Amino acid sequence: MQNKKQRKTYSPEFKTKVVETMLQEHWSQKQTARNFGIPDHKTVKRWKEIYLTEGAQGFRIDHAAIARAKVPTKPKEVIVDKNTLEELEYLRAEVAYLKKLNALVAEKERHEKNHG
């Protein structure tokens, strides 16, 4: 059985302290992550964005759950009857024919323009 990497969770108070310290000390996101032992500076970036748009109370919202809810689900497989498949094949053939016809007409027009 494969071990999944355990994600560390941080309290809203800790996130607030991190962002407020970063802003007060004028630290970069990388410096802040290093100083607070946060593995990825992008985490600090997300926290800063939340703090600046929603304030400290934004850390009490489960943003990950909201993001997961917005992920579209995979469309279900559609069962198509024989008549629909036949019509699809016919329409595809018709489109291919019209493309070829259009190319021939365009070629004829070019030929007439150059030799007419």
Cα–Cα distance between 35 and 19 in angstroms, integer?
Answer: 12
Q: Which amino acid is at 110?
A: R
- The domain segmentation of the chain, as residue ranges, is 12-70, 74-116
pLDDT for 80: 84
**Close Cβ partners of 100 (under 8 Å, ≥ 6 residues apart):** none
Q: What is the pLDDT along the chain (116 residues), one digit of tens a residue?
A: 455 567 788 999 999 999 999 999 999 999 999 999 999 999 999 999 999 998 999 898 887 777 777 777 777 777 888 999 999 999 999 999 999 999 999 898 888 888 86
Q: For 39, which DSSP code?
A: S
Nearest to 51 by CA among 8, 25, 15, 9: 15
pTM of the model: 0.54
